[in-house]
Amino acid sequence: MAIKWLDAKRLQGTNAERLALTINGGTDATNSGATQVTSPSGLSALGTYSWEFDENTPSFLTIPYDLTNYASFTVSFWIHPNHASGVTHGEHIWRNGASGSDLIVMNFYNYTGQGNFQFNVGSSAQVFIDTISDNTWVHITCVKDGDNIAVYKNGAAGGGSPDTDTGAGSGAHAGSGTFYIGKWSGGEAIDGDLKQFLLYDAALPRLGETNSVEAIYKDGLGTTTPPTDNLLVNYNFQQADSSALTNQATTHPNLPNGTIFNELDTYKYFMWNGTDTWNQMVSS
């Protein structure tokens, strides 16, 4: 199960997921086989370590969010791919959503046989980056802003044509799915290292000293203190590998005062006070 937005002020999920929102702004990722390693050179500002993903295992993470009901979001990460070029199958760096009749799929992956990487939302909006080099750190940001999507490589728009597209849909979608990092539900896993995976429930602009793609990229150096407004998830990959990867986000990102959380496992409802407390709602 994953936390799900029903509308602008209504959430649903489990008791544990609500408590985790209060504690650290999200819950930890579940790890399946990814391992901590000494980070490949070139991104020392983000720490000594990274986590390595093996396509043959495959190793992957699952996180307790479902973006299929978010009108806007930003996904940011650093990747050091072992073989970005010449793949014979799609390598999904992240994927969220149910395929089939809903086709509510949001992912960023190495497109099969095309030599480029693709960010798509549903079947209508797709953007591309033409090349990502092997054995080199690269920063990728995927942004959905209502009906519009964009992808940025190393802080700049594009790398392919087009680098922006419309038709993603601005409202909640009918469908849901597990959010995977490192593969999709059917496999097609990545081979390489990840460092600092960020998730925002807002569309960050490309430029700006704060709260922007530029502020995360930091001239190619990265930053251990990324923008915190609307930050849901910050996985820095500096902890030892275990069954869980700790979310470093320390406060919940701007939950509106009066947000209601429906606990599906307890059948209880809680209202957020706008600061730090969930108050249980009772009938009079």
Q: What is the residue-level pLDDT of the chain in tens, covering all 284 positions?
A: 467 778 778 889 888 777 766 654 456 889 999 999 999 998 999 999 999 998 888 899 998 877 776 778 899 999 998 876 555 556 788 887 765 434 345 666 665 545 567 787 776 677 777 677 788 898 989 898 888 888 888 887 654 444 567 767 655 454 557 788 988 776 778 888 999 999 988 899 988 888 899 999 988 889 998 988 888 889 999 989 888 888 887 655 467 789 999 999 899 999 988 766 789 998 76
Q: Which two tokens stand for residue 271?
A: 């209202």
pLDDT at 14: 84
The count of C-alpha atoms lying within 13 angstroms of the C-alpha of 100, restricted to the half-sphere facing its C-beta, is 8
243 Cα distance to chain centroid: 19
Burial 234-267 (b: 16+ CB within 10 A, else e): bbbbbbebeeebbbbbeebbebeeebbbbbeeee
The residue written with tokens 């490589």 in the block is 153
pLDDT at 75: 92
pLDDT at 9: 87
- Output the pTM of the full model: 0.77
Contact 77, 222 (CB under 8 A): no
